Amino acid sequence: MNHKKLFRHLVYLVSMLLVVGALYGLSDVLYAQMADTGARPTAFPSSPRPDQICLTWSADPQRTQTVQWRSSTETTAGEVAFYPVEEGQEAQQQVQAIRTVLKDAGVVNDPTNHRYTAVLEGLSPGTRYNYCVGGEGGWSDWSEFVTAPEGTPSFSFVYMGDPQVGLDFWGELLHSAFERHPDAAFYTVAGDNVNRGHHRNEWDELFQAAAGVFDRRPYVPALGNHDYSRQRKPQMYLDLLALPEDGPVRIGPEHAYAFHYSNALFVVLDSNASIRIQGLWLEEQLKNTDALWKFVIFHHPAYSSKANRDNKAIREGWGAIFDAYHVDLALQGHDHGYLRTPPMYDGKKVDSPAEGTIYIVSVSGTKLYDVADLPHGEKILGKTSTYQHIDIRTEGENTLIYRAYTIEGEVVDEVIITK
């Protein structure tokens, strides 16, 4: 090949690389613009009166409570009034909220909201509080929250797979869980909270459906691929929700976080972000805990319910860490079906939960896929939306009672583990 020909080849190669790069870079921008054009009126526009009241924990669950809500832009300030139920209204305090402006031009009938976030600090552990939120635009009704207890009392929590599609149904399922298990301490959702994460109108539907539950029990969400909605950052999720910032710095705040509740450790991971970086951080969380029970919550399952949905990198990257520190349950989503594995260790079935981790996939919305009969599926259910109630008993023998429920209250799966 002469020099001229070689030069022409090089020019061609570099041009192609530039074209592909430009197209790739552009496609993100184009997608975002295409997805955001067109009117997407919200069914639930904001008003001066507070709504979408939602509890999260952005700091210590024993001594703080984060409260968030929205109002229309006619309001300029907001506050939380609260008091411990036992002490009565004379002990009432107020905390001023921080106001942020939340814009989504596609929501043509309500493009800009004011979102309020207040972190109540200096609370007493294991204590029931009454609270309400508001300001010049009016006040909410009184609601309640309970701080995490000191010591290791019995408790329970609810885990749900993807809400994503069919948020009306999901809201009914959520309320059925709340009615059946009024003492469940919090609700963890394993990602794909909505279908298009950067569309605020979908979050409006989610918060509307959750009214009466998320204003009484904290929402503990994980990030799914739909919460990113093919963007580089799950910006709407980050803007809407105040979550702990104790995760690995290199993946950005609020993507992954951990907290203790009674005798259990909960680690929430972002399976869209670096497996390796979170693996190092996860190992630190598991290494430095005395918790008897360990739960990890993330979206893309390590053991999928269909062969073509395999996530080998997660199974290998995080599975080995679960094995090394004995994670009890991995609570996952993404596959739109129900699957529970037997206890797994090093990719293989083992005899008892004491030897391995049980991995669960579930779905709480109405987007349902078939489930394949795979060797790692000890219990599989196709086209079934469920929530899971996990009861941790500490009186006598330490026991975990796991049950999957349909909206009608039928128990479709159960696991009991004693330690």
Which CB, 140 or 311, lies closer to Fe ion?
A: 311
Which CB, 115 or 299, lies closer to Fe ion?
A: 299
Contact of 177 with 389, CB cutoff 8 Å: yes
The least CB distance from residue 300 to Fe ion, in Å, is: 7
The least CB distance from residue 224 to Fe ion, in Å, is: 4
The least CB distance from residue 277 to Fe ion, in Å, is: 21
Order the strands of the 399-405 sheet from edge to edge.
219-221, 187-189, 155-160, 387-393, 399-405, 411-418
The least CB distance from residue 197 to Fe ion, in Å, is: 11
Which CB, 146 or 223, lies closer to Fe ion?
A: 223
Which CB, 300 or 376, lies closer to Fe ion?
A: 300
Query: Which range of residues in 234-242, 264-272, 327-335, 354-362 is near Fe ion by CB under 5 A?
Result: 327-335
Closest CA to 202 of 159, 162, 256, 242: 162
In angstroms, the Cα distances linking 117 to 24, 54, 88 are: 37, 10, 24
Site string for Fe ion, 334-373 (x = CB under 5 A): x---------------------------------------
Under rule CB under 5 A, residue 270 binds Fe ion: no
The least CB distance from residue 371 to Fe ion, in Å, is: 15
Query: Which range of residues in 6-14, 116-124, 216-224, 341-349 is near Fe ion by CB under 5 A?
Result: 216-224
The least CB distance from residue 274 to Fe ion, in Å, is: 18
Query: Which range of residues in 7-15, 137-145, 281-289, 330-338 is near Fe ion by CB under 5 A?
Result: 330-338
Three-state secondary structure readout of the chain:
CCHHHHHHHHHHHHHHHHHHHHHHHHHHHHHHHHHHCCCCCCCCCCCCCCEEEEEECCCCCCCCEEEEEEECCCCCCCEEEEEECCCCHHHCEEEECEEEEEECCCCCCCCEEEEEEEEECCCCCCCEEEEEEEECCEECCCEEEECCCCCCCCEEEEEECECCCCHHHHHHHHHHHHHHCCCCCCEEECCCCCCCCCCHHHHHHHHHHHCCCCCCCCEEECCCHHHHCCCCCCHHHHHHCCCCCCCCHHHCCCCCEEEEECCEEEEECCCCCCHHHHHHHHHHHHHCCCCCEEEEECCCCCCCCCHHHCCHHHHHHHHHHHHHHCCCEEEECCCCCEEECCCEECCEECCCCCCCEEEEECECCCCCCCCCCCCCCCEEECCCCCEEEEEEECCCCCEEEEEEECCCCCEEEEEEEEC
Which CB, 78 or 301, lies closer to Fe ion?
A: 301
Which CB, 225 or 285, lies closer to Fe ion?
A: 225
The least CB distance from residue 225 to Fe ion, in Å, is: 5
Closest CA to 131 of 119, 115, 113, 114: 119
Which CB, 217 or 334, lies closer to Fe ion?
A: 334
The least CB distance from residue 226 to Fe ion, in Å, is: 6
Query: Which range of residues in 60-68, 189-197, 302-310, 374-382 is near Fe ion by CB under 5 A?
Result: 189-197
Contact of 388 with 362, CB cutoff 8 Å: yes
The least CB distance from residue 162 to Fe ion, in Å, is: 6
Under rule CB under 5 A, residue 224 binds Fe ion: yes
The least CB distance from residue 126 to Fe ion, in Å, is: 36
Which CB, 68 or 362, lies closer to Fe ion?
A: 362
Cα-Cα-Cα-Cα dihedral of 306, 299, 154, 141, to 10°?
-120
The least CB distance from residue 256 to Fe ion, in Å, is: 17
Under rule CB under 5 A, residue 225 binds Fe ion: yes
Q: Which of 104, 110, 192, 254 is the binder for Fe ion (CB under 5 A)? A: 192
Query: Which residue number places its CB atom closest to Fe ion?
Result: 334
Which CB, 148 or 173, lies closer to Fe ion?
A: 173
Number of chain positions touching Fe ion (CB under 5 A): 4
Which CB, 58 or 164, lies closer to Fe ion?
A: 164
Which CB, 49 or 230, lies closer to Fe ion?
A: 230
Query: Which range of residues in 54-62, 224-232, 247-255, 340-348 is near Fe ion by CB under 5 A?
Result: 224-232
Residues forming contacts to Fe ion in the complex (CB under 5 A) are 192, 224-225, 334
